[in-house]
Structure 1
Amino acid sequence: MDFKKYKTFQVVADTLNLTRAAARLGYSQPTISLQLQSLEQELGVTLLGRSGKKTFLTPAGKLVKHYVDQTFALMEEMEAELRKLEHPHGLLTVAAPEFYCTHYLSLILHSYIAENPEVKLQLFSCDSNDAMKKVAANEADLAIIAGPCKSPQMETVPLGREDLVLVTTRELLERHELSDLLETYPFITYKSGSNIQRLVNECLNDYGFAPDKYIECVSDETIKRTVLYNTGTALLGAALVEEELRKGALAEIHRFPRKIETNMVILKKRIAEQNIRSFAEIVQRIWKEWD
């Protein structure tokens, strides 16, 4: 199918004037006439007729014009969609624990939208395990998680590392001997099977602390708030409790040499997608500035 001949026919059919069609297409009139004759021979119909000095479309010409217009409109739509792929656009969904959403991603989202106004962002607040599940199920395009990701389907991008700190409130620490505090009050921790539970257990084992009483929570923010109500002790990332330690609302019992990792995870098969790649780049850039 020679699209050049069909385009020539479309312009001639729009103008019904060979001189104007030749000027628009940049062809000579004889060239246009040859292309039209070739197309009529190919289709086996007469497309144009003349009445005096006027050119008109035959019934076959009107039918061909209708489909030619549709064809070129679809091609233009296709080209426009292909051009969009060169720049981020559409919906981008990010999943992350509540702490990352409130303390980090709010600034990142603002910066990303400023650079990519055609992208609509959606943010899911959930624990790290659920965030990884959403990425695996294509319910989220990428995730920021605490701890490692062992899935062979995922590309893991390290963002940062921070201390783990065993904390309680200043009030409880002043009212009790440390041994009594650890024995009497519950240890507030992540729900069983959470992404960093193994690291928490390793730290407690290093410290020689084997709590008998547990309270399990779904997020690190919930753990911190529960501790702040004088409920017990918890092991949390230093960034999460930095302000409360500085103000004296929380007290540091022990800081561990083991580090908690922050990672960005993306399905390997989707890492080249424009939206994902552009967002991953800005996350890495801003996170590096924070470090």
Structure 2
Amino acid sequence: MDFRKLKTFQVVADTLNLTKAAEHLGYTQPTITLQLQSLESELGVSLITRVGKKTYLTNSGKVVKSYIDQAFGILDEMEREINKMKEPYGLLTIAAPELYCNQFLSMGIHSFIAENPQVKLQLFSCDSNEAMKRVAANEADLAIIAGPCLSPLMESQPLGKEDFVLVTTKELFEGHTLEELITKYPFITYKSGSNLQLMVNECLGSFGFQPSSFIECISDETIKRTVLHHTGVALLGSALVEEELNKGTLVELHRFPEQIETSMVVLKSRAEEKNIRIFSDIVQRIWANMG
């Protein structure tokens, strides 16, 4: 079926005026008439009728018009989606833990906006598990996470690694032996089932650390703040506690080198979208320079 005839009929049905339709399409009025007659012959129904000088759609014409509108609507949507893969525009939503939002993504966001001012950025601060859920549900375009991404639907790009550090406050460390800290104070950690909690368990097992009690928190920032209130001990990424270790407010009890892998994740079906590719390239470049 000739798309030109369908488009001609759509314009005629919208305007109900052959002269206006001809002007809109850049055709002569006889050409419009011939295309309509050809379409009617092909479909085997009458699409328009004239009463005096007025043009009306037949019942068949109304049905055909509704389907043509749907078809061209889908084609327009297809064109918009293709354009997303050609030029950056619209909204780009990123999900990441608070640490990455505050310390690492700011440079990437600045560079991206400077190079692509037509794109609006939106940033969600959440834990790694929630970030991956947002990507899976198309509520975020990409995510920066700590720990593994095991979803077969997602593409994961490693950015770097950092140490896991077992820490407590200076006051608790000076007043207790390591054994007392482990047995008398709670271990402050991530909520059960999170990808980082699985890594924590592996590190604790290799160290022979058997906490007597646990406090589960929803984010690493919450864990750090809880530790700083002299509540117990915790295993956190070295980047998160670097400042406190340098100041002496936190003390390193044990270090597990390069245990946390930071990755950027995106749905495989969306990996080639222009916004995502450009932001991904910028983040990888900045992360490499920081290393």
| Fold conserved between structures, TM > 0.5 | yes
1:1-291 matches, cutoff 5 A: 85=84, 86-257=86-257, 259-291=259-291
Q: Which amino acid aligns with 1:114?
A: A
RMSD (Å), alpha carbons: 3.2
Please give the alpha-carbon distance, in whole angstroms, between the structure 1 residues aligned to 2:82 and 2:285: 26
Please give the alpha-carbon distance, in whole angstroms, between the structure 1 residues aligned to 2:177 and 2:107: 41
Secondary structure of the equivalent of 1:135? Answer: helix
Please give the alpha-carbon distance, in whole angstroms, between the structure 1 residues aligned to 2:96 and 2:3: 52
Check 1:173–1:38 CA distance in 2 against 1; reply closer, same or farther (3 A cut).
closer
Q: Which deviations, in whole Å up to 9, do the C-alpha atoms of 1:152-179 show, x marking residues without a partner?
A: 1010100010111101111111111221
Q: Which amino acid aligns with 1:246?
A: N
Please give the alpha-carbon distance, in whole angstroms, between the structure 1 residues aligned to 2:36 and 2:209: 87
Q: Which deviations, in whole Å up to 9, do the C-alpha atoms of 1:215-263 show, x marking residues without a partner?
A: 1100001111111111111001111111110111111001113511101
Q: Which deviations, in whole Å up to 9, do the C-alpha atoms of 1:71-116 show, x marking residues without a partner?
A: xxx9xxx6x9589542211111111111111111122212211111
Secondary structure of the equivalent of 1:252? Answer: strand
Please give the alpha-carbon distance, in whole angstroms, between the structure 2 residues aligned to 1:112 and 1:211: 44
Q: Which deviations, in whole Å up to 9, do the C-alpha atoms of 1:112-167 show, x marking residues without a partner?
A: 11111111111111111111111111111111111001111010100010111101
In structure 1, the gaps of 5 or more residues are 15-24, 26-31, 45-58, 61-73
Query: Is the CA contact (8 Å cut-off) linking 1:192 and 1:216 kept in structure 2?
Result: yes
Secondary structure of the equivalent of 1:155? Answer: strand
Find runs of 4+ consecutive structure 1 residues off by over 3 angstroms: 35-44, 80-85
Please give the alpha-carbon distance, in whole angstroms, between the structure 2 residues aligned to 1:41 and 1:149: 59
Please give the alpha-carbon distance, in whole angstroms, between the structure 2 residues aligned to 1:41 and 1:206: 82
Please give the alpha-carbon distance, in whole angstroms, between the structure 2 residues aligned to 1:252 and 1:114: 40
Please give the alpha-carbon distance, in whole angstroms, between the structure 2 residues aligned to 1:83 and 1:240: 40
Secondary structure of the equivalent of 1:196? Answer: helix
Please give the alpha-carbon distance, in whole angstroms, between the structure 2 residues aligned to 1:243 and 1:276: 32
In structure 2, the gaps of 5 or more residues are 9-18, 38-52, 55-71
